[in-house]
Amino acid sequence: MRHSLLKSLSVVILSIMLLPVSMQAQNAKIKFDIDRKIGEVDKNIYGNFVEHLGRCVYGGVYEPSSILSDADGYRKDVMDAVKGLNISLIRYPGGNFVSNYHWLDGVGSKDQRVPRLELAWARLETNEFGTNEFIKYCRTIGSEPYLSVNMGTGTIEEAQRWVEYCNVKEGPYYAELRKKHGFPEPYNVKYWSLGNEMDGFWQMGHLNAEDYSKKARETAKLMRLTSPDIKLVAAGSSNYRPNANPDLWNRTILTELKDVIDYIALHIYVGNPDNNYYNFLSTPLVMEQRTDIARGMIKEVMQTANRPGRTPIFIAWDEYNVWYRARTTEAMKGTRALEEKYNLEDALVIGGFLNVFIRNADIVKMANMAQLVNVIAPIFCEEKGMFKQTIYYPLEMFAKNMHGTSLDVFVDCGTYNTEEFYIGLGESKTKQTNVPYLDISATYKEGEVVICVVNRNKDQSIKTDILSQTGEFSGSIKVYEINGPDIKAMNDFGTENVKTVTKPDLKATGNSLTYSFPAHSLTMLKAIIK
């Protein structure tokens, strides 16, 4: 009996060995249908953030003493790199900084501006760079300004006066003050946030959810009476600390401000302090889970909201990034604070975040990477030059190509489970199951489908069948790849190990093609569908 069973088993094994490779191990599969739509991709998901922190403003965006700067003091080399990111809007001036910032300190003649002790990041604030310098910078690079009002030590009247200064053409005092400062036309700033991270105990003027909602409602009232068409962003949960109850904060804010706000802001920072690649690469799924929870809350409160003629409430991920190396007490203070250096695996995580924004295009209508230059940033500069960090390239890839309608893509591929881990400093632990090795988003616009794929597999390429379920591929398919010699590869002055590389075009017949996505890579495919 035993001999017979062994003989039968040998026959089965031999039969499997003789099968074609394609039958022994199926390829991964991607299916897209241009009629299966999620929502329109908002250009504002390609935003960024400038805070008076470390060398983001002084020595980054603005350095009048540098031979590399223009007549306005803006670093030209940095500006050229910034323009390459097609940034839609820039959040300013904070961040933690804003909760003790008084905008009047930063306008008028520079020789009369008063230096202040900056309490959030322990540095001297000269106020040499303020509202007018920031908005001129935005106009120069083609971005919209997104201003955050002081909901900590500031008053509702101070916020109203800032709106008046920026948006009212003439007549009242602060509109005339802007004109006196040399800016006759109003700026018409559309986007304003009602403070920053007011749920955080570290925030100057920290409030509980009920008190924040009361102050935010009255601030919004004055701001809208001054400039009725502005869009307002409420401060949602800043992170998921143990015992912080962020979902209760968000629910309270949405319930109390459902008739007032246009967006709720969420923040997330992730890291890899334990050097666990697969845990780290799964962190964008945490963002997606939190997006789903907020979506449900928004759907619930919208049932009783009174918003005639206005859009529903959307989500703004107005701070997100990888940040963990430069997060010690010493690295978070002073003139060189938060100067994180990035590698390939960080770039892949950023690609994952961008995929999340595309996959949730119906509800995520704004996102702002923190920050623009030097401070946890895609661009790093010193006195004599600059370089593009690894995370620059996914931002550039998406901002230049991922527009139009987000598609609901079917993906079938291998998965893995993570260990229990912290996604960021001070956050609650999480564990991810069934994490797909291929992380995918796709858009469709004017006959062109663009597919972005992160292969999370550290060691193996993944051969994938790609099927169009409406229309056939036409002409050559463009392929672009972000990769490097290994997952720890970094860029530096004069060294570019990680960047976007154009690969050979693909040829496809009919409605299918097969492509092998390299290990630890971000790949973009651009195809015409007819």
Distance CA(224)–CA(212), nearest Å, equals 18
In whole angstroms, what is the distance from residue 491 CA to residue 195 CA?
35
Q: Which CATH architecture has domain 39-406?
A: Alpha-Beta Barrel (3.20)
Query: Are 273 and 324 in contact, with CB atoms under 8 Å apart?
Result: yes
Element (H, E) at 504: strand 499-506
- Could you give the 3-state DSSP secondary structure of residue 169? coil
Query: Which pLDDT score, from 0 to 100, does residue 328 have?
Result: 87
Whether residue 350 has pLDDT greater than 90:
yes
Q: Is 243 left (phi over 0), alpha (psi -120 to 50) or beta?
A: left
Mean per-residue pLDDT for 333-360? 97
Task: Check 63, 319, 345, 396 and give the catalytic one.
Answer: 319
- The arithmetic mean of pLDDT across residues 205-225, rounded, is 98
Active-site residue flag, 197: yes
Q: What are the residues whose beta carbons fall under 8 Å from the beta carbon of 95, sequence distance 6 or more?
A: 49, 51, 52, 53, 120, 148, 196, 319, 370
Per the prediction, the chain carries an average pLDDT of: 94
Separation in Å, CA 444 to CA 357, 404, 438: 15, 6, 20
Continuous segment of H or E residues that includes residue 191? strand 191-194
Tell me the whole-structure pTM to 2 decimals: 0.94
Is it true that 25-38+407-529 and 39-406 share their CATH fold?
no
Of 137-146, 239-248, 270-279, 386-395, the poorest mean pLDDT is in: 239-248
Out of 51, 118, 133, 197, which one is annotated catalytic? 197
Helix (H/G/I), strand (E/B), else coil: 265: strand
Whole-number pLDDT of residue 92: 98
Give the pLDDT confidence score for residue 14 in this predicted structure: 41
Residue 11 CB: number of other CB atoms within 10 A?
Answer: 10
Cα atoms in the Cβ-side hemisphere of radius 13 Å centred on 281:
27
Task: Flag whether pLDDT at 19 surpasses 50.
Answer: no
Q: What is the pLDDT of residues 93-117, one digit of tens each?
A: 999 999 999 999 999 999 999 999 9
Q: pLDDT band at 426, cuts 50/70/90? A: confident
Peptide bond into 303 cis (omega under 30): no
What single-letter amino acid sits at 345? E
256: helix, strand or coil: helix
Nearest to 118 by CA among 128, 108, 110, 107: 128
Question: Could you confirm whether 319 is annotated as catalytic?
Answer: yes
Residue-wise DSSP of 124-154: EE---S-HHHHHHHHHHHT-EEEEE---SS-
Q: Confirm if 210 and 202 have CB atoms less than 8 A apart.
A: no
pLDDT at position 480: 98
- Residue tagged 């970094």 (tokens): 490
Q: What is residue 24's predicted lDDT score, i.e. its pLDDT?
A: 37
- Residue 300: its pLDDT value, please? 96
Per-residue pLDDT tens digits for 294-314 = 999 999 999 999 999 889 999
Distances (CA, A) of 266 to 90, 239, 385: 16, 8, 34
Domain boundaries, the chain: 25-38+407-529, 39-406
pLDDT in tens, 467-493: 999 999 999 999 999 999 999 999 999
Which of 3.30.70.3400, 2.60.40.1180, 2.60.40.10, 2.40.170.20 would CATH assign to domain 25-38+407-529?
2.60.40.1180
The predicted pLDDT at position 25 comes to 58
**pLDDT over 60 (residue 228):** yes
Query: What does each C-alpha distance from 294 to 72, 284, 362 come to in angstroms?
Result: 42, 15, 13
Both tokens of residue 479? 């392929």
